[in-house]
């Protein structure tokens, strides 16, 4: 493979593709319509301290006051990996079923699995504590940019990174000491700005209601990331303090009608990570180096697991979850990659970058400070790409045994070095963590190990060539299959006692005769050189993307929302169907559709209905809206976010995006990408008519007040 | 725009695109798996005199006998533009609703519109005659290749074409005289082979049953060409002779279970036209010249009609059908183009062509005879492309008045020439036909005329440049809008009396002062030269594609089915869902889905249910399979084809393809492309429970026998 990553060929050849290039129009001097236009390409994940009031006013004719914003912020809570909200004065919290999944499994008594049966607490006494789960409510935001940046005085990127980390930690711990609350320093715009977020934590959460997994995740992995959809992906928890339900001052009211076609809606939640400030060079690296390598690796693993699964029903069961996980990652990565391969998206990105650079270049001071950042990043990415293939294989992580070998050799060698000279990961507690990892006693799946190693060796041989030291050392003239067979048969690293000998017992790795240790100890210096070189380059990139974050203010002011950071944001959008597959996808689905999709597949998994839903068919209103789509800007971490209308009432519950949304990771577009939510009416209908949970429905709708 | 059509750059640069090129592997010497492989890329539209018995045996383990084939052939009939089949011993014919649409409208009494209400003949006496409709049953096939080819002795392409046409006509009329039946000479493989098809014609067809248009075409233009789908696109006719129902010896039995997942099925019908034998050069021409021009023209017309429609409800009504028609053409053309833009498809085509050419080149005799055909075609396409833009505008068909002007000038000039020197279209009866066309008295839509002319002039100015004679003559220094305004205001060609004067009344076009006549009479010689040049080149292409048709035997024998010719074929396939939109499309839909899609759109058009279906909800079995998909190879003309199982029983009724099927026009693939059919069980359920048509259901199921 050849990578064309040099910044000299970037602009004309690589980024846009030949055909898009023909229509490329420089926007120099022209104001890029970042916010005034209909679709802000940086998206709409606004922070609560910079709500785009003018933009909302012009786009929706809606200008909320501070009380409206404060109320939404305080009604929202963050769960581990998810979002949620208070929906009653008695501390009831609504989130997705998939955000409570581990709690639901955990609170199931031995004889029942609530994931299979669903769960409804008939009374408050029946609510079951989720151990280890907590909810954080964002009580204040403070700009601490100058406090952090004042501490960064060093010249080298590596030192700057260390100073920054120390400053962040010091601000955070000072805040926790002073407030007695949870504090977090959030680097926004790649560190162009730092905000101090203070949270009130609720750490006694109890399970109140959850439907069956089959209902919450109807359509399973097939329908995941897609729409039309038919999932009741909801669960209810309750926050307790001192054994009593919490009575939050702020909680969301429930909308009677729920989401309507064309309605303006807001999503309040914690989007995890986006890459909208990435430079073209970074995107090209992902497109040409990173994602293809990931996809190749998923593909290789998938082939092995599918082959093994076909061998026996036991194997099929054993690998099912792993296969689903990989298939999920494939789907997501393929979706991200498709965005990067889309000339329209890359052209928009190129336009923006051109405009951004020309604004910086137009001011001599800004140019001196920031003008070099894009090229510095592009050069570092380019250099990374020159040894990306080598670095990937020299990570020596192609199989479990190979991983043990390199870790064991490194633990021995790195321990002998002074702290400052060690590799990242072997500093501080790193060495001990590594030792524990090596000594975890897990049985080796020998068949899987053999196939993985053989597949990895075959790839290495193909990608590195037959004369590479790694290939020679591990193959030793054998075929990948024969080498894998022999290594798995003869290596003692399968045995935890043997690994203990090497890590703790004093057996010298330099005299150890284990075939893997012998091969790997000669490769380790080269492997380390790749790790170090990559770390240096990544420090350069990291320091320069932080500069870009600063530059973006200089060029555009505060009009652009920062990349997602798994902190609270408010995104706006419109309830709206979209063109799909030659026709139109409706703005909402209905219960009819649930029964339809199940019947379409003859009630086979993952489209089978639970008994409860089969019995409920005659009771529910089949026209009840089930799921709906909106143009709100979301990403992983937004799961469980409430969707509210202009009155601040709940009209839905975010649980996914459609497949067309995946490229939004890099540039926000809303032609076909959609946020997928459970409709509020589906939740009420299900609570009352399917789950015998009128108590909870009444509480949510305020009928008990 | 620059076209890279030269055959020198074709292979490396144009056809495949840069990235596909990298993976291009010559297949020289290697046998292309045309039939033995899993997907024959020439598709499966087999003629009944060359059924692929070995292929069916190896693929499905099914080898029908001659009686099975004869029975299917004789049970099938061809309608104008459609396919159909006998489904009862009393001459009942099943086809699509959209194939009987004009009859349904025609037989509606003044007070009722059966398209809106649906129609069920309660008794035989209530069956209503469709004037002008007929059904042709294929009774025999004879190879007449040598009879036709023996008559082609001339040297020039134009003379060869004339001799061929004369030979075809002579064979056909001799057949009709001898048999007293309808005869048709079918040129297969672009004229590489000629078959004489003899038909028995049934010309008294009566309407027996038709659902409402809204049910037959549920989802309307939006869902057209797509799947999942929910259409009862069926109608029943009956063939009469001498006032009595016909009793055909062959008719199809009805399957009780209907189409099942994974089942092998056969489609018997008349696919209209495919381009699978097109050379790469022809495909490139379509891709780079023809389709882009068509799409630009659709786009221009669409913009005007949408603008006019937005002006008033009357306009919206007036242009609705035209807009739907254009939108349909856009969808189809875009789909075809997407296939040509798909590097995978073009690579496969390139592989095939390379293999084909290398087989011809390997035999000196074949090489001498056919080796030059690809280059001859490519050169002609290339030359066509050099003046395609000019030829398009010099057709002078940008508006109704402009069309009158060029036709009037041509009628005067061509009438003065000897027959042999006239343009195509002005020979024989052509002149009179043209005169009648000019003198049809239709009111001119002046607003539309003005906008169309302005839009066409603006495009001409842009594409031909300001110095082109046409642009100068028609614009005369004005803007396109001003020119169009003035021309429409001042031209007398609006007036049929004035046109009559010019065509018949002796007004001399050379002294006529009408601004359009003045402009066009000077442009006419140039316009004619383009017409002639294009006709010559198309004769060259036509003669060479016929040679290619001969060559394909020499290279592959009779293993490849010929391109579609709107004659009877049998296609094979499997009932099977497909990957779609990130998830899977089911092999079938159900009645649940009909109610779901209607509810999803709040029962709005084109997703509204008829009253009859709303009332039937409690009566029908909601799990009844409604539509289903299979990998059978179909295209326009197959509408109304029966889908049968290995027992020859009806399991469904073809009515559409999915959007992914459109690129199959050029290469057949079955990964995602699907034939969409009404499920036989949906037809029975609808007849019995919705349309009060138990009489017909009993007849079809043989319950009355």
Task: Write the DSSP string, A29-64.
Answer: TSPP-SSSSSS-TT-S-EETTS--HHHHHHHHS---
Percent of chain A with pLDDT over 90: 80
Tokens representing A156 are 């080298």
What is the arithmetic mean of pLDDT over A165-172? 96
pLDDT single digits (tens) A493-508: 999 999 999 998 788 8
- Respond yes or no on whether the N-terminal peptide bond of residue B606 is cis (omega within 30° of 0): yes
Q: Which residue of chain A comes nearest to B22, CA vs CA?
A: A1
Q: Say whether residue A580 is in contact with chain B using an 8 A CB cutoff.
A: yes
Residue A33: pLDDT above 50? no
Collect all residues of chain B within an 8 Å Cβ-Cβ radius of residue A583.
Answer: 219, 222-224, 226, 659
Tokens representing B621 are 């079995």
d(CA A635, CA A642) in angstroms, rounded, equals 14
Among A6, A424, A373, smallest CA distance to A190 is for A373
C-alpha torsion angle, residues B622, B627, B628, B631 (rounded to 10): 180
| CA-to-CA separations, A367 to A32, A381, A385, in angstroms, rounded | 19, 22, 27
Q: How many CA atoms lie within 13 A of B218 on its CB side?
A: 30
What is the arithmetic mean of pLDDT over A9-35? 27
**In B141-250, alpha helices (H):** 145-149, 157-179, 213-216, 220-223
DSSP 8-state symbol, A609: P
Cβ within 8 Å of A, B 193-252: 219, 222-226, 228
| CA-to-CA separations, A388 to A1, A292, A519, B379, in angstroms, rounded | 11, 12, 22, 46
Tokens representing B624 are 């009844």
Phi and psi dihedrals of B512, rounded to 5? -65, 135
What was the pLDDT predicted at B32? 38
d(CA B29, CA B357) in angstroms, rounded, equals 11
d(CA A580, CA A594) in angstroms, rounded, equals 19
Confidence of residue A39 (pLDDT cuts 50, 70, 90): low
Asked whether A188 and A194 are in contact (CB, 8 A), the reply is yes
Residue A667: pLDDT above 70? yes
Q: How many CA atoms lie within 13 A of A554 on its CB side?
A: 23
Which are the contacts of B419, defined by CB distance < 8 A and separation ≥ 6? B427, B428
What was the pLDDT predicted at B23? 21
When scoring A600, A620, A681, A682 by the number of chain B Cβ atoms within 10 A, the one with the most, hence best to mutate, is A600
CB atoms within 10 A of CB B429: 9
| CA-to-CA separations, B632 to A151, A601, B575, B645, B656, in angstroms, rounded | 70, 21, 8, 12, 11
Q: Over chain B (705 residues), what is each successive 10-residue block's mean pLDDT?
A: 27 24 26 44 92 94 98 98 97 96 93 95 97 97 95 86 92 97 94 94 98 96 94 98 97 97 98 93 95 95 94 88 84 91 87 92 95 96 96 95 96 90 86 93 92 96 95 96 96 94 88 93 96 93 89 80 95 97 95 98 96 97 98 96 98 96 92 97 98 97 85
d(CA A333, CA A339) in angstroms, rounded, equals 10
When scoring A1, A226, A583 by the number of chain B Cβ atoms within 10 A, the one with the most, hence best to mutate, is A583
Phi and psi dihedrals of A110, rounded to 5? -55, -35
Q: Say whether residue A586 is in contact with chain B using an 8 A CB cutoff.
A: yes
When scoring A339, A586, A659, A660 by the number of chain B Cβ atoms within 10 A, the one with the most, hence best to mutate, is A586
Rounded to the nearest angstrom, the minimum Cα separation between B592 and chain A is 5
The number of residues making up chain A comes to 705
Torsion sign across C-alpha atoms A334, A336, A338, A340: negative
Torsion sign across C-alpha atoms A63, A65, A68, A73: positive
**Which strand (E) or helix (H) includes residue B209?**
strand B205-210
Which are the contacts of B683, defined by CB distance < 8 A and separation ≥ 6? B232, B234, B653, B700
DSSP 8-state symbol, A254: B
Asked whether B219 and B589 are in contact (CB, 8 A), the reply is no
Q: Say whether residue B403 is in contact with chain A using an 8 A CB cutoff.
A: no
Rounded to the nearest angstrom, the minimum Cα separation between A132 and chain B is 35
d(CA A475, CA A472) in angstroms, rounded, equals 5
What is the arithmetic mean of pLDDT over A386-394? 96
d(CA B291, CA B359) in angstroms, rounded, equals 31
Phi and psi dihedrals of B504, rounded to 5? -120, -25
**Which strand (E) or helix (H) includes residue B542?**
helix B515-556
* Residues forming beta bridges with residue B77, ordered by sequence position: B84
Which are the contacts of B341, defined by CB distance < 8 A and separation ≥ 6? B287
Cβ within 8 Å of B, A 334-363: 335
d(CA A290, CA B67) in angstroms, rounded, equals 60
d(CA B47, CA B561) in angstroms, rounded, equals 7
d(CA B209, CA B12) in angstroms, rounded, equals 56
Closest to B599 (Cβ–Cβ): which among A261, A592, A597?
A592
d(CA A437, CA A521) in angstroms, rounded, equals 19
Asked if the Cβ–Cβ distance from A596 to B599 is below 8 Å, we say no
**For chain A, what is the mean pLDDT?**
90
What was the pLDDT predicted at B505? 78
The CA radius of gyration of chain B, in Å to the nearest whole number, is: 27
**Which strand (E) or helix (H) includes residue A207?**
strand A204-210
What was the pLDDT predicted at B39? 54
pLDDT single digits (tens) A426-441: 988 889 999 999 999 8
d(CA B494, CA A293) in angstroms, rounded, equals 67
The CA radius of gyration of chain A, in Å to the nearest whole number, is: 27
Q: Say whether residue B592 is in contact with chain A using an 8 A CB cutoff.
A: yes
Tokens representing A664 are 């939004």
Asked if the Cβ–Cβ distance from A600 to B586 is below 8 Å, we say yes
Asked if the Cβ–Cβ distance from B582 to A219 is below 8 Å, we say no
d(CA A608, CA B516) in angstroms, rounded, equals 69
Phi and psi dihedrals of B204, rounded to 5? -120, 90
The number of residues making up chain B comes to 705
Which are the contacts of B600, defined by CB distance < 8 A and separation ≥ 6? A228, A586, A588, A589, A590, A593, B607
Pairing of strands A235-241, A244-245: antiparallel
Among B686, B670, B579, B688, smallest CA distance to B632 is for B670
What was the pLDDT predicted at A7? 30
d(CA B94, CA B102) in angstroms, rounded, equals 16
Rounded to the nearest angstrom, the minimum Cα separation between B613 and chain A is 15
CB atoms within 10 A of CB B510: 11
């Amino acid at each position: 493979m050849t990578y064309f990553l040099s910044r000299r060929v970037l602009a004309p050849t690589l980024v846009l593709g030949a055909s898009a290039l023909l229509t490329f129009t420089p926007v120099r001097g022209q104001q890029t319509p970042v916010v005034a236009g209909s679709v802000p390409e940086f998206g709409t994940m606004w922070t609560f301290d910079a709500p785009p009031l003018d933009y909302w006013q012009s786009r929706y004719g809606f200008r909320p006051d501070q009380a409206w914003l404060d109320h939404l912020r305080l009604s929202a809570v963050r769960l581990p990996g998810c979002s949620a909200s208070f929906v009653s004065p008695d501390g009831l919290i609504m989130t997705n079923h998939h955000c409570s999944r581990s709690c639901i499994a955990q609170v199931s008594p031995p004889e029942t699995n609530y994931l299979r049966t669903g769960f409804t607490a008939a009374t408050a006494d029946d609510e079951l504590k989720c151990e280890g789960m907590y909810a954080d409510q964002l009580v204040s935001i403070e700009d601490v940019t100058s406090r952090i940046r004042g501490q960064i005085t060093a010249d080298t990127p590596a030192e700057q990174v260390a100073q920054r980390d120390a400053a962040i930690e010091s601000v955070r711990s000072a805040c926790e000491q002073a407030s007695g609350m949870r504090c977090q320093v959030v680097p926004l715009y790649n560190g162009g700005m730092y905000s101090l977020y203070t949270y009130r934590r609720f750490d006694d959460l109890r399970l109140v209601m959850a439907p069956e997994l089959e209902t919450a995740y109807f359509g399973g992995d097939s329908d995941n990331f897609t729409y039309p959809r038919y999932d009741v992906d909801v669960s209810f928890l309750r926050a307790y303090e001192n054994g009593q339900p919490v009575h939050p001052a702020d909680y969301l009211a429930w909308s009677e009608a729920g989401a309507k076609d064309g309605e303006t809606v807001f999503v309040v939640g914690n989007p995890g990570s986006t890459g909208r400030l990435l430079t073209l060079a970074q995107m090209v690296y992902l497109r040409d180096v990173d994602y293809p390598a990931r996809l190749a690796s998923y593909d290789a693993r998938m082939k092995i697991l599918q082959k093994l699964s076909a061998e026996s029903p036991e194997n099929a069961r054993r690998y099912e979850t792993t296969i689903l996980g990989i298939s999920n990652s494939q789907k997501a990565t393929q979706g991200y990659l498709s965005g990067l391969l889309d000339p329209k998206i890359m052209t928009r990105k190129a336009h923006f970058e051109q405009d951004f650079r020309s604004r910086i270049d137009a001011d001599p001071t800004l140019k001196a400070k920031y003008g070099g950042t894009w090229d510095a990043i592009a050069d570092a990415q380019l250099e990374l790409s020159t040894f990306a293939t080598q670095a990937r294989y020299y990570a020596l992580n192609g199989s479990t045994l190979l991983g043990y070998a390199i870790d064991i050799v490194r633990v021995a060698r790195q321990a002998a070095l002074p702290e400052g000279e060690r590799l990242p990961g072997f500093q501080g507690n790193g060495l001990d963590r590594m030792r524990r990892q090596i000594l975890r006693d897990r049985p080796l799946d020998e068949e899987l190990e053999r196939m993985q190693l053989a597949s990895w060796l075959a790839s290495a041989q193909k990608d590195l060539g037959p004369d590479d030291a790694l290939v020679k050392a591990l193959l030793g003239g054998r075929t990948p299959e024969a080498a894998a067979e022999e290594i798995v048969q003869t290596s003692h690293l399968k045995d935890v006692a043997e690994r203990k000998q090497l890590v703790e017992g004093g057996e010298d790795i330099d005299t150890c005769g284990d075939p893997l240790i012998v091969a790997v100890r000669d490769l380790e210096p080269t492997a380390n050189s790749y790790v170090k070189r990559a770390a240096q380059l990544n420090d350069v990139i990291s320091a320069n993307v932080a500069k870009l974050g600063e530059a973006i203010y200089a060029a555009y002011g505060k009009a652009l929302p920062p990349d997602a950071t798994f902190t609270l944001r408010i995104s706006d959008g419109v309830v709206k169907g979209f063109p799909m597959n030659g026709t139109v996808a409706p703005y909402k689905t209905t219960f009819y559709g649930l029964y339809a999709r199940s019947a379409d597949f003859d009630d086979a998994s993952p489209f089978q209905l639970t008994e409860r839903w089969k019995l409920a068919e005659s009771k529910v209103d089949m026209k009840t809206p089930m799921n709906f789509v909106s143009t709100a800007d979301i990403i992983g971490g937004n799961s469980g976010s409430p969707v509210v209308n202009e009155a601040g009432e709940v009209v839905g519950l975010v649980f996914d995006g459609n497949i067309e949304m995946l490229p939004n990771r890099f540039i926000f577009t809303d032609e076909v990408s959609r946020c997928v939510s459970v409709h509020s009416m589906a939740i009420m209908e299900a609570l009352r008519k399917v789950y015998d949970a009128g108590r909870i429905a009444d509480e949510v709708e305020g009928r008990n007040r």
